[in-house]
Chains A and B, each alone.
Chain A
């Protein structure tokens, strides 16, 4: 039996097409995935992402634990209220999960990990924290709403209490605040401005309806995927997994080797990989002609080698086929993709297509 979020009945009443995602019954779309996509790029949309796992880490050694656990250095969070994106690696340098850690206060952190990786993440976290004076609590009974789009912050604040709205207005990108039991973060997975708001389940329905009144459109996981792909953001399980190093997943910037004393899990494997030379890279592909790119299609780089599409779709904003692909490091600016026995030319770019509503390549 799949799990359901506190807003499940509302999704059903809103004619959502419900699909299983990581063991949860989640809305794929409420009619048209493309209309929802445009709504987020042009105005504001809201996503129920309560299936994601919220884990609170507290205790005198919470920071030491996270410095050991994560490839990025939690020490970068100099002041409470700041967030950090990182991979959580295994000993061989593969990515167990990617996640955001929020610094809430002294000895107090919150991590949001993927739904599809929940069970193995909890096993790993519990194993690793055993050596530290810190505790780990999987928080339940919480709803998380991502409100995203150029008008999202305005709408989200208009639908909140005045105190919350005032605190939210002060948040810079990648900052967060705890206000009256709500956790408000200026983060997202769409390439647009907005908030991810975690609130008690009991308050979820009223806030959802208040957002609706502000003109925020319900959006499903379908457009969440095309939005994140356009923004060049990785999807765990597609663009990287435990067999892939962050250096081959466009996550090199999240691997912090500066502090030589910091012994994080996977460090020696990453250092060895760097020394030997990183073999592959994750790039963006733009189809030159009409069509759609799909994951697992073969990428051919004449004179260099072959690669594979890790995420592909049709970009509703740019109206072309786009993809992320893992290709040999020597790949330059063009390649071919095998689509139904034809080889279609693609441009190879940095994996980022649309940010804040605009084409970025």
Chain B
């Protein structure tokens, strides 16, 4: 059974969003997504300073099996990317919600968060797949 932390928000494309203490949005892919993709071997992340809109392509995660696009779950400016993933992409498998985070955004529009799914709604979504 996939881990779906209740305090996070989720996109239909299997990204999660966490709002940290200073109000920035941290983005990653869900436990369910990493399970489907399998062992991660390569990650392509956006550039710090990129301005992205919701559903823009913001990188790619590649497992041995397949490449999967990452879409921005919210709009804003990329302020930090997880550079450790360049050498340790497997962190996405082992800790998708912790060391496997992808990038941090300065939210352009806080209302974007309301468009995302709650943990319960996301659990329903993947149960239907």
- A340 CB–B CB distance under 8 Å: yes
| A residues in contact with B46, CB < 8 Å | none
A291 to B67, CA, bound (A): 10
- Tell me which of A29-37, A179-187, A345-353 binds B: A29-37
Interface flags for B47-64 (1: CB within 8 Å of A; 0: not) read: 000000000000010101
B65 touches which one: A222, A290, A321 (CB < 8 A)? A222
The answer for the CA separation of A106 and B41 in the assembled complex, in Å, is 50
Complex: how many Å from CA A303 to CA B62? 31
Q: Are B60 and A33 in contact (CB under 8 A)?
A: no
Chain B interface mostly helix, strand, loop or mixed? Answer: strand
Scoring B residues 1 to 38 as 1 if CB is less than 8 Å from chain A, else 0, what string do you get? 00000000000000000000000000000000000001
Number of interface residues, chain A, beta carbon within 8 A: 15
Docked complex Cα distance between A127 and B86 (Å) = 54
Please state if A33 and B38 are interface contacts (CB–CB under 8 Å).
yes
Residues of A within 8 A of B39 (CB): 32-34
The verdict on A313 contacting chain B, using a C-beta distance below 8 Å, is yes
- CB of B86 within 8 A of CB of A29, answer no
Whether B38 pairs with A290 at a CB distance below 8 angstroms is no
Chain A residues with Cβ below 8 Å from B65 are: 33, 222
Given A222-B64, A340-B60, do A292 and B41 touch, yes or no (CB 8 Å)?
yes
Report the bound CA distance from A33 to B35 in whole Å: 12
Question: How far is the CB of B94 from the nearest CB of chain A, in Å?
Answer: 10
Task: Say yes or no: A291 contacts B64, CB within 8 Å.
Answer: no
In Å, the complex CA distance between A226 and B65 comes to 10
A65 at the interface (CB under 8 A from B): no
Q: Decide: B64 and A226 in contact? CB cutoff 8 A.
A: yes
CA distance A316 to B42 in the complex (A): 12
Min CB distance, A38 to chain B, in Å?
A: 11
- The answer to whether B42 touches A314, judged by C-beta atoms less than 8 angstroms apart, is yes
Query: B128 → chain A, closest Cβ, in Å?
Result: 20
Known: A222-B64, A314-B64. A292 touches B42 (CB 8 A): yes
Contact A316 to B60, CB < 8 A, known contacts A29-B38, A33-B38, A291-B42: no
Whose C-beta in chain B lies nearest to the C-beta of A36? B39
| Interchain CA distance A294-B44 in the complex, whole Å | 15
Q: Is the CB of A222 within 8 A of B38?
A: yes
Q: Across the interface, do B62 and A34 meet the contact criterion of CB distance under 8 Å?
A: no
B42, B60, B64: most-surrounded residue (chain A CB, <10 A):
B64
| Distance of A343 from chain B, by nearest CB (Å) | 15
- A-contacting residues of B (Cβ < 8 Å)? 38-39, 41-42, 44, 60, 62, 64-65, 67, 86
Chain A residues near B (Cβ < 8 Å): 29, 32-34, 222, 226, 290-292, 294, 313-314, 316, 321, 340
A-B contact pairs, 24 of them (CB 8 A): A29-B38, A32-B38, A33-B38, A33-B39, A33-B64, A34-B39, A34-B41, A222-B38, A222-B64, A222-B65, A226-B64, A290-B42, A290-B86, A292-B41, A292-B62, A294-B67, A314-B42, A314-B62, A314-B64, A316-B41, A316-B64, A321-B42, A340-B44, A340-B60
